[in-house]
């Protein structure tokens, strides 16, 4: 075990490990240390100043789930857009679960929206499911408010996958869009532009949302397939 791995294991919580393992059935439990995310984020902030950090980021793949999360948190701290993008693209092929995929986004991306939108549209066409999920996540987090463009939603609506975690992200995207860009999202739902499972899951998640009115929820329920 490396020195860094010993440090990570010193922060483990067995109860949390058992709980978190159940949320990621596709990950071998032996690869999960069991570190709570706020604890790991705090460690990442300190470790980013350590001379070992650059070497750690240069070394892929990692052995443990938390090592991947640490890697993701270190990428988040990169202020230069081009470097943050380079490291993200180098890391994405090694992302193998929804949690790592969803928990990181460099601040530099939000400051360079035109460039990252172009990349997100590339990523959603990837053969790698978690790269697709990450791209849709970027479009959901950064482009459903003032920077929304209908063509972004159109691209997401055209994604077809047999992967559960990709389809869940599409449904999440549309449930969020129903709260933020209702007219455009409702048109996609009404015109049956999504796979049946994704269509119904998006409606389910929207109905569970506190950001959508009761009248709208009642209408959405009538659109279930």
Residue-wise pLDDT for 35-70, tens only, equals 999 999 999 999 999 999 999 999 999 999 999 999
- One domain for residues 127 and 224: yes
Does any domain span residue 83? yes
- One domain for residues 44 and 148: no
- One domain for residues 94 and 137: no
From CA 49, how far away is CA 124, in angstroms rounded?
A: 33
Does any domain span residue 160? yes
Does any domain span residue 105? no
- Domain limits at 165? 113-225
- One domain for residues 166 and 131: yes
pLDDT digits (tens, 9 = 90+) for 137-185: 999 999 999 999 999 999 999 999 999 999 999 999 999 999 999 999 9
- Give the pTM: 0.96
Does any domain span residue 108? no
- One domain for residues 122 and 218: yes
Q: How many domains does the chain have?
A: 2
Does any domain span residue 198? yes
- One domain for residues 86 and 133: no
How confident is residue 1, by pLDDT bands cut at 50, 70 and 90? confident
How confident is residue 71, by pLDDT bands cut at 50, 70 and 90? very high
Tell me the pLDDT of the chain averaged across its residues. Answer: 97
């Amino acid at each position: 075990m490396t020195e860094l791995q010993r440090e990570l294991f010193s922060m483990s919580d067995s109860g949390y490990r058992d709980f978190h393992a159940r949320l990621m059935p596709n990950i071998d439990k032996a690869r999960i240390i069991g570190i709570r995310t706020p604890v790991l984020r705090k460690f990442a902030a300190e470790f980013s100043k350590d001379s070992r950090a650059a070497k750690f980021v240069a070394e892929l793949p990692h052995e443990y789930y938390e090592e991947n999360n640490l890697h993701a948190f270190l990428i988040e701290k990169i202020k230069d857009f081009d470097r943050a993008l380079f490291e993200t693209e180098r890391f994405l092929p090694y992302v193998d679960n929804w949690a790592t995929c969803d928990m990181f986004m460099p601040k530099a991306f939000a400051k360079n929206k035109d460039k990252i939108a172009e990349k997100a549209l590339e990523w959603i066409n990837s053969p790698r499911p978690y790269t697709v999920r990450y791209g849709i996540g970027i479009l959901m987090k950064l482009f459903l408010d003032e920077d929304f463009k209908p063509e972004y939603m159109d691209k997401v609506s055209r994604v077809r996958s047999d992967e559960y975690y990709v389809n869940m992200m599409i449904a999440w995207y549309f449930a969020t869009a129903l709260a933020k860009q209702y007219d455009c999202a409702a048109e996609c739902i009404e015109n049956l532009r999504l796979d049946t499972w994704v269509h119904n899951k998006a409606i389910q998640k929207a109905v569970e949302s506190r950001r959508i009115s009761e009248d709208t929820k009642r209408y959405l329920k009538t659109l279930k397939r």
